Amino acid sequence: MRTARDRDRPVVWINGDADLTTSDLVGEYGETERISERDKYIHNVVKSKDIIRDRWVDNPLTLAVKEGATLVYNEFSRTKPVANNVLLSVLEEGVLELPGQRGKSRYVDVHPEFRAVLTSNSVEYAGVHEPQDALLDRLVGIHMDFYDHETEAAIVRSNVDEADQARIDQTVTLMRRLRDRLEINVGTRAAIMAVEGTGPADELDEQTFGDICVDVLASKVSSRDDIAELRGEVEAAIQETKLSFVDH
């Protein structure tokens, strides 16, 4: 969103979903339009005619293409690849085809200021489809790794009210160490939740801190044995990082 706003163009947002179809992206005949005509040209003779026709409604991709907006397509790989095929001609030939439309209206020239930012998690996540090569060939891929310690700590600080900086730093330090030790994904949200969890503790000791971190990460494992293993890893990481638990 920050990148899109920096272009100083309108921004159109789409959330990828397994139920999303091509029509959800480009549009469809979604309304009925009634036109009534009354002919009173001859005195005492009234002619009337009602014309009922379907009315096309543009959806986000078509709006972005027409207006030269920046399309932010969040989690695009959660949408089934067949629905995203409509992007191929947009990105390659600069033409959007509207399935269901008729005549000249079926084709829309892509505005020269149109841009698209597609975001996705890796295919290992549940509910994610592997995108087709034809689409990936038309994209520039940028792998976003985790932030550095300073940036990650700043993000945590901005999301937790009245959190002590020393507590934030020690939590981020531990989560970064666990990120290297564990097979599960340990994101920045885990650090935010852990700092929030330490808030009610008047005095934060090693045991309490470890319990909170285990609770935050326990949702990513599936059995008691896995939790016991997780607890062991958390305790080992605390010892490795040599965190100080002096109340500030």
Q: What DSSP string runs through 3-31?
A: HHHHTTS-EEEEE--TT--HHHHHEEEEE
* Contact by Cβ (8 Å): 116, 71: yes
Cβ-Cβ contacts under 8 Å for 95 (sequence gap 6 or more)? 89, 107, 108, 109, 110
The per-residue pLDDT string of the chain (248 residues; one tens digit each, 9 = 90 and over) reads 888 999 999 999 999 999 999 999 998 877 666 666 666 666 666 666 666 667 778 899 999 999 999 999 999 999 999 999 999 999 999 999 988 777 778 899 999 999 999 999 865 666 688 889 999 999 999 988 889 999 999 999 999 988 888 889 999 999 999 999 998 889 999 999 999 998 887 778 889 999 999 999 999 888 889 999 999 999 999 988 876 655 54
The reported pTM is: 0.72
**For helices 188-198 and 165-181, angle between their N-to-C axes, nearest 10 degrees:** 140
Q: Which fold has domain 2-26+55-136?
A: Rossmann fold (3.40.50)
Q: What is the pLDDT of residue 248?
A: 45
- Residue 47 main-chain phi, psi, to 5 deg: -105, 140
Which pLDDT score, from 0 to 100, does residue 70 have?
96
Of the candidates 29, 86, 85, 27, the residue with the CA atom closest to the CA atom of residue 59: 27
